[in-house]
Structure 1
Amino acid sequence: MNITRENIDDLNAVVKVDIAKEDYSGKVEKILQDYRKNANIPGFRKGHVPMGMVKKQYGKAVLVDEVNKLLQDALNKYLTEEKLDVLGNPLPKEQENFDWDCENYTFEFELGLSPQFEVSLDNKKPITHYKIVAGEEMINNQITHIQKQYGKLVTKEVAEEGDVVAGTFINEAEGIESKTSLPLEKLKGKKNLEKFLGAKVGDTISLKTKGLFEDDHQLMDFLHVEHDKAHGLDIPVEFTINEINKQELAELNQELFDKLFGKDEVKSLDELKEKIKEDAAKQFKQQSDQQLLNDVTESLIENNKFDLPKNFLQKWIRTVGEKPLTEEEAKEEYEKSETGLRFQLIEGKLIRENKLEVKFEDLKSFAMDRIREQMAQFGQMNPSDKELEDIAARVLSNQEEVKRLSEQLMNEKLLNFYKENIKLEEKEVTYEDFVKEIYK
């Protein structure tokens, strides 16, 4: 067997594989001998079928199968030994007048080669690294939410702003009869709210579903209509009040603080606000880091230009799916995936050159940290190392979980690498300002 390569240019090559009879004949002969021993053909005793008949019936299929196996093994070995970094898979070139009745064969494959480039981390303009904090409004809203959660409902006779009314939405024609509790603060617009103010138990209020809530999806919650029906629903409904309750807020005292955070962990309103701010910062860190990853990705793609074997990749895309694509469809798929492919090449090079590997011990430690965090959310604050290790062992026995955690850990390693090596500019913003700035 002989394998040669012709480089068409820096990104494309053709590999030629010459297979001679002596490369495959021994294996083919052995397989046919085995077929002969086990063949059940009418008129012949088992093991005494003439070899000529066996070859006539099975010879071509066995030959094709063995040559293809030999070809794939040789090609894979060649790519590994030559350390060729290819994109996609080798594509066999069409050959006119190919004849399996010949004893020697030649096969040619097109290769798309990975581009050679150096990754530049030099971004002229610093990338913004957001430090997201809870603003005063968010902190106060969270305190009110806590007071409501730990407060109590007090029954009353007349509805006022801020009350919760229990009752039934009805529209007989649409088959709607939905019992619900409706916080008046959920209503959209003054006109809808004013219909409830001063109302008493037993009163029936006429409403329109259109514009009743800020979001039509809330019709699913309060009227129990299906998702598709809720969008743009414009029908009259009547709401009969069965009960009126006022939400009495819990008092901000030491008893509540201890219930929330443990004995004497928080002792004043100011400490409560600081605690809420700290907890919010932990939650916002994930969003901040994800945004940094997004912005770094865009910067790396913008600052690292290189060519790709475009024509080869489009040809490969045509053949790689469950069904062949047209040239136009393959071109569209390539354009959709080109940016992602470029970043994969950049990221892969950074990982290799900076040895950002995921070792098993790192993965185990990472898994234990995640498990510890999850247990803390359910009040298990001090699990033993053995308990954590046992759970981690079960998690890491699942290949899907290993893949998921490995990706998360690699993202964390890359994020730390970017923070140390890319020019960043920290900017403190409230969550509201962050959303406005990112999604403007």
Structure 2
Amino acid sequence: MTMSPADTKPSSPATPVRAPLKPLDQALAELLAQATPLPGIESVFTFEADGRVLAQDLVSALNVPGHDNSAMDGYAVRCADWADATTLLQVNQRIAAGSSGQALAAMSAARIFTGAPIPSGADAVVMQEDCQTVGADGVRLLVPPQPGQWIRRQGEDVAAGSVVLQRGKRLDPAALGLAASIGFAQLPLAPRVRVALFSTGDELVMPGDVAPADLPAGAIYNSNRFFLRALLLRLGCVVTDMGIVPDRLDATVAALKDASAGHDLILTSGGVSVGEEDHIKPAVQALGQLNLWQIAIKPGKPFAYGEVGSAHFIGLPGNPVSSFVTFLLLVRPFLLRLQGMTDVATKSIAIPAHFDWARADKRREFLRVRRNPAGGLELFANQSSGVLTSAVWGDGLVDNPAGQSIAHGDMVQFIPFSALLS
């Protein structure tokens, strides 16, 4: 049998099959599974604990309030003494907050102020607007008193021996006030996460180093470095800013090696795609291991997780909106879990879309939107991953499932930035 020239040509190598992109929920679950809370406890003044995470339960040693006290300025009385609005009671004592009174005699009343302890025998407080003074020491009650009215009972806020704030609680101003109300001047907190931060890219320059008029062709200012550092600080992290690393494999390996010493997390932006100048993947693999690569979301597909030495590694995309969104959706819950928080889920609410989105994507999309006075959501016109203006203009994200278009009036899932940036 004679073979044609085509039959004698060597077969071309098979095109490698790419692994499918990982769904966001699966990627987050795998990421959080690696986020073992950091060991140790820091004792911190309650004044300085806003935004930090409790490492132990706070148990109250006292009741709050510590005694029955008045919720109003008015008169402490015995309900049994009142017959009608003409009943005259003798005012024989005055009780202010911080003082204590005498037992209340029959047909008498005590002038009392908010927070003052209820005298023995009294079973109601009548606010002063419902009373009429008579002479220097008499009072009539214009409405019938009801047992227990305007009395704050001992321990009704906090009972002695109860857990007031649970371990893993991220503290806010109200929680700090509650801790102070049960006598805690210092709080046992999870350690701060130590983060090494750097960007990769020969095109990056820092604002202030080069004037806009002198910016070389192809160069851009490094915006990611600014918002990532700010986001990390808002989450209570200790940040080491390692600057900009050149687009070279040896420089990337050296930066990762330096960053792994004394840090819990290495966070980078840029260099996690598949171009010839993207060196993060081989550099991480040379020093440690890469466990997660590319997520099925838009914006933000290039996302990497691994380990370098004893440090966690997370690589974010270089496009600013992609970097911003992947930080909020993946890095933020990871950092909170490292600090011992258990409930780190991103929460959304249903709001009507006041826009049309016909371009359904095969990836799960996060669209930049803002609320309008009509109670719906407006869409930023340019949803490109490089348009950081959209994140400033908007006040949240629409979490849009893969393959789904949106028509005006459809209910969509809205994630407010206020919840993600706190």
TM-score above 0.5, yes or no: no
Q: Which has the higher contact order (CA 8 A, sep 6+)?
A: 1
Decide which structure has greater helix share.
1
Decide which structure has greater strand share.
2
TM-score under structure 1 length normalisation: 0.21
Work out which of the two has the higher radius of gyration on C-alpha atoms and give 1 or 2.
1
TM-score under structure 2 length normalisation: 0.22
